[in-house]
Structure 1
Amino acid sequence: MNTPAKQTPPALILIDVQTAFNNLAYWGGSRNNPGAEQNISALLKHWRENKLPLFHVKHNSTQPGSLLSANSPGNAFMAAAMPFGGETIIPKSVNSAFIGTNLKQLLDEQGIKSVIIAGFITEHCVSTTTRMAANLGYNTYVIADATVSFARSGVNGEHFSADTIHAVSLATLKDEFATIITTEQAKNIRQ
């Protein structure tokens, strides 16, 4: 009798949930998803209680004066996403959590086929990591209510709200690169 292969649960990848993003003025003046940190905390609780694969990604900027540089207080993890001892931290210095890191190796060693992505900033590191995950063949999900965008100025000086940036960023990922879900939906994905 053939035994079905055990399905590996999806990994939660938390992108750059760092205190630098509390400085609204630095990032554009306003942000969306005021409940994102609460949702990230709920995701962490669920993943920990169920002993599911979890990866914390931390941006260590090489840009002089960046709030995310390794020697800046803004480099610290937010309280809502503080890693516990033994949880994997992936340091990166570019937008993708796959470039210059061992993330792919760790996912592949554990047989992980699906990744669920949340964190900061939707249009930057979340998007870049999502696109690469999909291109590398992972079944990829982005959690809309656990990701954050900031207001931006356009090339002609026009203002785009954080909600607009977030919505457009998710729209560019939807279907081609990822399935867009909510925090509650993420808790029910099995593989």
Structure 2
Amino acid sequence: MTTLLIIDMQVGMTWPKAEVRNNHNAEETIARLLMEWRHRKAPVVHVRHISRTPGSPFWPGQPGVEFQPALSPLACEHVVEKNVPDAFINTGLERWLHTRGESSIIIVGVSTNNSVESTARTAGNLGFKTFVVSDGTYAYAKTDFNSKERSAEDIHAMALANLDGEYASIISSVDALEVVLPLALSTQAPIG
């Protein structure tokens, strides 16, 4: 089976101005994937960032830390809380996946060059078959080390390029629904 891993789709991620990010339909794409995973009773993990920096929108108890309502976990879905970008660090995620015999994950969420990239690198290094959905992730504009302004699309594309073929396979949401999920379901061990 392939686990859908949804990273940091929290209320605080909706607060930056729209023009500083790319993939404005990413939330709809993630919701579509989530609906299909739920329909197929495939495993879903929701990752939430809990900041260790007082005043952060992701500090415990702040409204920004809550999941976006359209992407909130069901009671039966696993929730991982992290304090650093990588969802595997000090969270038990690796153990949770191994205990259930999960060997592949599809990653969606935010931001491509931060939590998504960090988590995908570790997943690949741990031996998980890792997929990152290009249209189910997004990034924010950023100034590079040489003080040059980079668009959100440039940041997104570079993060995906950093991962592709070495740590993960970069796929579209169409590929996730039409190729990866059906293949995972067809190779699932029978229950009983």
The TM-score normalised by the length of structure 1 is 0.91
Partner of 2:139 in structure 1? Answer: 149
Partner of 1:116 in structure 2? Answer: 106
Sequence identity percentage: 38
Aligned to 1:127, the other structure's residue is in SS state: helix
Shift of 1:95: 0.8
CA offsets 1:5-62 (integer angstroms, 9 cap, x no match): xxxx10000000011111115xx96100000000000011000000001100000011
Partner of 1:56 in structure 2? Answer: 46
Match of 1:186 among 168, 176, 181: 176
For 1:35 and 1:83, the matched residues in 2 are separated by: 20
For 2:68 and 2:138, the matched residues in 1 are separated by: 14
Answer yes or no: is 1:23 the counterpart of 2:9. no
For 2:23 and 2:164, the matched residues in 1 are separated by: 18
* Root-mean-square deviation over aligned CA pairs: 1.2
Partner of 1:3 in structure 2? Answer: none
8 A Cα contact 1:38 1:80, kept in partner: no
Unpaired runs of at least 5, structure 1: 1-8
8 A Cα contact 2:131 2:171, kept in partner: yes
Aligned to 2:108, the other structure's residue is in SS state: strand
The one-letter code sitting in structure 1 at the alignment partner of 2:161 is: A
Q: How many residues matched?
A: 181
8 A Cα contact 2:43 2:77, kept in partner: no
Aligned to 1:24, the other structure's residue is in SS state: coil
Q: Whose helix proportion is higher, 1 or 2?
A: 2
Aligned to 2:20, the other structure's residue is in SS state: coil
The TM-score normalised by the length of structure 2 is 0.91
For 2:54 and 2:147, the matched residues in 1 are separated by: 25
Shift of 1:157: 2.4
The one-letter code sitting in structure 1 at the alignment partner of 2:79 is: I
For 2:23 and 2:49, the matched residues in 1 are separated by: 21
